[in-house]
Amino acid sequence: MANDLLTRYRQRGASALSDAEVVAAVCFAQPQPQQVAKAVLALAEAGSLAKYVQQHARLALVMELCTRVMAEALQTGPALGNPSDTGTYLTARLRHLPYEVFAVVFLDTRHRVIAFEEMFRGTLDGASVFPREVVRAALKHNAGAVIFAHAHPSGVAEPSAADRAITRELTEALRLVGVRVLDHLVIGAGAPTSMAARGLM
């Protein structure tokens, strides 16, 4: 069974494996059919792959490892040119979280990544964002520009009135210290929503 999974992965890529097969391959060195069957049941019980990952430290650490690899690629790669450049990384970093979070990607004047910070955490209802803390962090990193990211645990990647209001407030505060706000991505169940692309900022 293990060899079969590995062969399919090598020949056809990860998309050739089901969620349960990937879980079994990560959790067991030599996954057997009964372990894949158990994974199928466990995933159904959890309700989704994301919820199952949240419940298992080993899988959560695998996800953390993946996001760190992507972060490294962002920090050593070329300048960010459009929302899709950061959307995949921010989705992987934030989508699985059970609470609302407001994060910032700090960029230099050429839009190369300096740092990523999860700045404010909230509940399912919202996160309190303090402009002075964002300004302080931007100055600490000597950032020339920033990209905001806000996770909606509800799964709806639609910018709320509160999202639009805090974006305007932060944009004005950062403008006073010479830092540009390039975008605010809302992370939900599907593709991230770019407020800049929507003309909301």
Contacts of 13 (CB under 8 A, 6+ apart): none
Distance CA 99, CA 122 (A): 6
Which helix (H) or strand (E) covers residue 94, if one does?
A: helix 83-94
What residue ranges define each of the domains in the chain, with the CATH number in brackets? 2-55 (no CATH), 80-194 (3.40.140.10)
Give the pLDDT mean for 102-128: 82
**How many angstroms separate the CA atoms of 38 and 40, rounded?**
5
Which tokens belong to 173?
A: 């505060």
The pLDDT tens digits for 1-58 are 556 777 777 778 777 778 888 787 777 767 778 888 888 888 888 887 777 777 777 7
| CB burial of residue 144 (10 Å; 0-12, 13-18, 19+) | middle
Task: Please state, rounded to an integer, the average pLDDT across all residues of the chain.
Answer: 81
pLDDT tens track for 50-68: 777 777 777 777 777 766 7
Q: Answer yes or no: is pLDDT of 139 > 90.
A: yes
What is the mean predicted confidence (pLDDT) over 84-103? 79
DSSP 47: S
How far is Cα 7 from Cα 116, in angstroms, rounded to an integer? 37
- The per-residue DSSP string of 121-188 comes to E--SS-----HHHHHHHHHHTT-SEEEEEEE-TTS-----HHHHHHHHHHHHHHHTTT-EEEEEEEE-
Helix axes 19-27, 57-76, angle to 10 degrees: 100
